[in-house]
Structure 1
């Protein structure tokens, strides 16, 4: 299953690339019989160096000193509230949970509703959040103990081999079972005024 990214994230501030490029991250893994969940959180803060109202381009400096230019779309509310020295914080969260459905029986499916979005109130600093959840149910077509892989068939007929490192989990999976995968992701962006950021130090 291809990893689905939030296209709508660019609507908020266009700084998702900052989170991927540099920032503090934490990853947690939780396991139970027939279930695995992986959760990750990445946070990055950057300082506004320049704002070009004509082109809506903002130049940001990361904590490591590197700078990046971000094009802010018209959909982003309160662009005129951005000031040099403001601190932009982006927090990206994602999680993938896999659940084994013994015996299967249901139809393979995919549920990918439109992302939910919240924007800052008019007159406030730019910011907001966007989130999305995708659920896929796939059929177990084969189990390969030697290679520690399981072949899954999705709702569109495509197949993919998934590595299962845990021997106990692998032994519990049989042909005819189903696997439900739930992928969630969220991006939250906030802007702190330069004056408030200075007092917080």
Structure 2
């Protein structure tokens, strides 16, 4: 249950797949494996009366047995910190996380930073998505 993949530049890699990969027997030499990968990160300040918690959400799907091989996976990780201080001169915010760690974070110049942000929650949402499809050649 291994397959050797070669990209457009001639780089080769052999990978072994587990039993969760159904329809592996349908993959043939010369088939094209298309992988799409996307990452996105969004950071925002909650409204004064809004509360969020750290969380992780995962969704996966694989082709049913007998269908064209393929799979999809999405993971969303949400981390919440509290603004414990702001430095308007250096345009930074000190963030305190639920485990007690603190980080001084530079804030983009186009983002308004105010003393009133102290005590507010900052939500950092990181999304990763990957889809794999096999195209018969």
Match of 1:13 in 2: none
Q: Answer yes or no: is the 8 Å Cα contact 2:92–2:105 preserved in 1.
A: yes
Match of 1:42 in 2: none
Rg bigger for which structure?
2
Summarize the Cα distance change of 1:161–1:59 in structure 2 as closer, same or farther, 3 Å threshold. Answer: same
The one-character-per-residue Cα deviations of 1:168-198 (angstroms, maximum 9, x if unpaired) are 423476321221222221111000001xxxx
The one-character-per-residue Cα deviations of 1:119-142 (angstroms, maximum 9, x if unpaired) are 012122321101111222210011
Tell me which protein shows more strand as a share of its residues: 2
Gaps of 5+ in 2: none
TM-score between both structures, scaled by the size of structure 2:
0.85
Matched, 1:93 2:38: yes
Cα RMSD of the aligned pairs, angstroms, is 2.2
1:161 CA drift (Å): 2.5
Q: Which has the higher contact order (CA 8 A, sep 6+)?
A: 2
Summarize the Cα distance change of 1:104–1:162 in structure 2 as closer, same or farther, 3 Å threshold. Answer: farther
Match of 1:121 in 2: 64
Gaps of 5+ in 1: 1-55, 195-201
Q: Answer yes or no: is the 8 Å Cα contact 1:104–1:178 preserved in 2.
A: no
Tell me which protein shows more helix as a share of its residues: 1
